Chain A
């Protein structure tokens, strides 16, 4: 059964460094998402992406974040200058959508630790 994959499973970085989190969505999906979950807190929406552009973003998704679909298969989240508070589990999702239907399939997550 097709699934969303994410790499790496765990990333450790120094504060101020740039990180790129990678996701391979399910191949026939057109809608892509990033979420994060700080330890012990709710899963929070970051951004949705369709037709090579951001369709919606939350207040968390500020100028230090960017997303890209560089080659038609990967979907990446870049954090330009990491802060300690960016430490979290980051989930990628891809999905299908209809007039009244929006189903998302989640990857296993990347645990980001900022030191």
Chain B
């Protein structure tokens, strides 16, 4: 059974700082990995999707990497802004389901 772990559980940084969120997983037989953003009480916004055969994806200030051999993914956020404050979820996609980590709650202070 796929276990997804995200470290740290919470992170507080000053505005402008670069940061890395970590995701580890136990089963590398995945279709793809997605990073989502969730604002309090809201739905899931897809940020980046990395297919199983890919190593990384970039969108604006976000860069996600995937290392299946070590069971790890990272989400790099450059030049963080207060609007980046949210919970970031990592999810591993298998054939018919998706397994989520518990998330990292990010606070970017002005």
Considering the complex, give the chain A residue whose CB is closest to the CB of B6.
A42
Instruction: Enumerate chain B interface residues (CB-CB to A < 8 A).
Output: 31-32, 34, 36, 41-44, 46, 49, 51-53, 89, 91, 93-103
With A45-B99, A48-B96, A55-B96 already in contact, the answer to whether A105 and B46 are too (CB < 8 A) is yes
Instruction: Enumerate chain A interface residues (CB-CB to B < 8 A).
Output: 33, 35, 41-45, 48, 50, 55-56, 58, 91, 93, 97, 100-109, 111
Of A35, A50, A55, the residue contacting B98 (CB under 8 A) is A35
B49: chain A residues at CB < 8 Å are 103
With A48-B97, A104-B93, A104-B98 already in contact, the answer to whether A43 and B44 are too (CB < 8 A) is yes
Count of A-B contacts with CB under 8 A? 59
B41: chain A residues at CB < 8 Å are 111
Report Cα–Cα, A64/B100, bound state, in Å.
24
Report Cα–Cα, A104/B33, bound state, in Å.
11
With A101-B31, A103-B32, A103-B49 already in contact, the answer to whether A45 and B97 are too (CB < 8 A) is yes
Whether A102 contacts B31 by the Cβ 8 Å rule is yes
Q: What is the minimal beta-carbon distance from A89 to any residue of chain B, in angstroms?
A: 8
Report Cα–Cα, A74/B108, bound state, in Å.
39
A33: chain B residues at CB < 8 Å are 97-98
B36: chain A residues at CB < 8 Å are 106
B102: chain A residues at CB < 8 Å are 41-42
Q: What is the minimal beta-carbon distance from B105 to any residue of chain A, in angstroms?
A: 11
A107: chain B residues at CB < 8 Å are 43
